[in-house]
Structure 1
Amino acid sequence: MAIYVDADACPVKPEAEKVATRHRMQMYLVSNGGLRLSQNPLVEAVIVPDGPDVADMWIAERAGPGDVVITGDIPLAAKCVAAGAQVLRHNGEAFTPANIGQQLAMRDLMTDLRAADPFRQGGGKAFSKSDRSRFLDALERAVRAATRR
């Protein structure tokens, strides 16, 4: 059992570390660099080589039943869901077998819309305290569900 964090733009690393510590779970922060190292013996920073999706591939090759993956990357989420892992976005929303197909289709649609209108200004909503709180609650539930497997 482990928690894998797609750490490059993850705003909830400290919260994930708290939950990992509480449950005495190994946590892997996977990135291509630029991470502040934790002194926590349960937290391992994994620095992968630069390249497209290298961190995603590292996580996807290891995650499975009993593990929890934290990512905003939908293709990575799809691979991890298929492998049986519990998968969460940074705001606590779960990727599941029931919703991952729709999430992939929406991602592809949005990619096409952005490509069709290069002047489209976009950006997600700001990450809020309620997102952080929702994430903590969802991660706690996911860890408990993973431990029952």
Structure 2
Amino acid sequence: MTIFIDGDAFPNLLKPIVLRAINKQQIKTYVISNKKITIGESQSISYSIVDTKADEADDKIVQMLSKDDLVITADIPLASRVIDLEAHAIDHRGDMYTKDNVKQYLAIRNLMQSIRDSGELTKGPAPFGQKDAQMFANSINSFLQKYNKN
């Protein structure tokens, strides 16, 4: 298994959590972003900076992805592409995207975008905090225990 991190909006609170998991299980990890992002130093982590064009990081992740890899992203369209390729995706708050829920997440995202495009003001997600980081830590640790077969 390989982990891919969509690095452009990766919360700082998650960096030490992910670094510990990567180092503990020695999982090959790629951080893909359109600017310099540092999760931490590890022989298991490779950093790749892509062009700033829309979806460039997403496209690179999908291009490199294999079945059963894990992608960490809050980007629902990317998560949908990942699930279509029979890989796994988890968001920054610890929610796993699945075949059963990703289309629903995508539909809600598109509906909210349509509402915003019509001029309505909508609330964004609640601020990311320590509780979210803990939920993410629990989710990723559980996932890695189940799926990582070093």
1:67 to partner: Cα distance: 1.2
**What whole-Å deviation, never above 9, does each CA across 1:42-61 have from its counterpart, x for those lacking one?**
11111111211000001111
AA paired with 1:125?
A
**What whole-Å deviation, never above 9, does each CA across 1:1-29 have from its counterpart, x for those lacking one?**
11100011111233112111111101111
Please list every run of 5 or more consecutive structure 2 residues that lacks an aligned counterpart in the other structure: none
AA paired with 2:26?
R
Give the corresponding residue for 1:110: 112
Separation (CA, whole Å) in 2 of partners of 1:130 and 1:78: 25
Give the corresponding residue for 1:9: 9
**SS state at 2:10 partner:** coil
Further displaced range: 65-74 or 106-115: 65-74
Separation (CA, whole Å) in 1 of partners of 2:122 and 2:98: 30
Give the corresponding residue for 1:133: 134
Aligned residues: 147
Residue 29 of structure 2 corresponds to residue 27 of structure 1:
yes
CA contact (8 A) 2:3 2:27 kept: yes
Change in CA separation of 1:37 and 1:95 when aligned onto 2, cut-off 3 Å? closer
1:121 to partner: Cα distance: 5.3
**SS state at 1:44 partner:** strand
CA contact (8 A) 1:86 1:146 kept: no
1:93 to partner: Cα distance: 0.5
1:37 to partner: Cα distance: 6.6
Percentage of pairs with the same residue: 29
Please list every run of 5 or more consecutive structure 1 residues that lacks an aligned counterpart in the other structure: none
Give the corresponding residue for 2:54: 52
Separation (CA, whole Å) in 2 of partners of 1:147 and 1:36: 23
Separation (CA, whole Å) in 1 of partners of 2:122 and 2:83: 31
Give the corresponding residue for 1:91: 93
Separation (CA, whole Å) in 1 of partners of 2:95 and 2:36: 26
